[in-house]
A = this chain, B = another copy of it.
Amino acid sequence: MSSGRKKLFDENTALNAAMDVFWQKGYVGASLTDLTKRMGINKPSMYSAFGNKEALFVKATQCYIDTKMKPLISLLFEEKVTLKQRLKNHMMSIVAMQCDTSDAKGCYLALCQSELVSGDIPEQAEQLLKEADAMPIQVYTELFNSDAEAIKLGLNNNAQANALSLYTILKGTASMARSGIDKSELEYSIDSILVGIGVQ
């Protein structure tokens, strides 16, 4: 079948490196020079392996969704944990990630999302970002509509609106984290919003 020289770099490792760069600098801010330097490869290698910058971004973002977002979502559906505790686990884990400055990262989606506004992101990437961005609202709505404990609290009556409240907090903390606010200072806000929507 195939012959020829073997690839000298691991595609997955390179993709993770690319994800980090996009995470730090956004789509436009991450230049090919930045990307390939951190990926440890040259531009032609990158183009032959991933296609172009947009395709690389799409794959990196998909990687982010699978390895970073989904584990956070699964916290909402753990068994033998109260709804309030699940929500707190979920929110606090997100905040912890948002506030993690170990690699000078901001918030992946928040950073890229603002580029959606200025129209600097190509179509395919835009689609994926919008889907990823809308994911939490759908998940929260589903949670409030299906979870027994949530229904008992009546959260299903305002499922969409309550989902929006959670999401608002999530976006707010992302923005705050980018401003360098400490994780502990955000815990209070999370408690407040949970009280506000009636999660006791």
A residues engaging B (CB < 8 A)? Answer: 24-26, 28-29, 106, 110-111, 113-120, 130, 133-134, 158, 160-162, 164-165, 167-176, 178-179, 181, 185-186, 188-189, 191-197
Contact = CB atoms under 8 A, between A and B. Distances in A.
A192 B197 contact: yes
A152 B189 CA distance: 21
Contacts of A172: 167-172, 175
A97 B144 CA distance: 30
Q: How many copies does the complex hold?
A: 2
A175 B174 contact: yes
Contacts of A191: 196
Nearest to A168: B172
B196 A168 contact: no
Contact of A188 (B114, B158, B169, B179): B158
Contacts of A162: 192
A157 B3 CA distance: 72
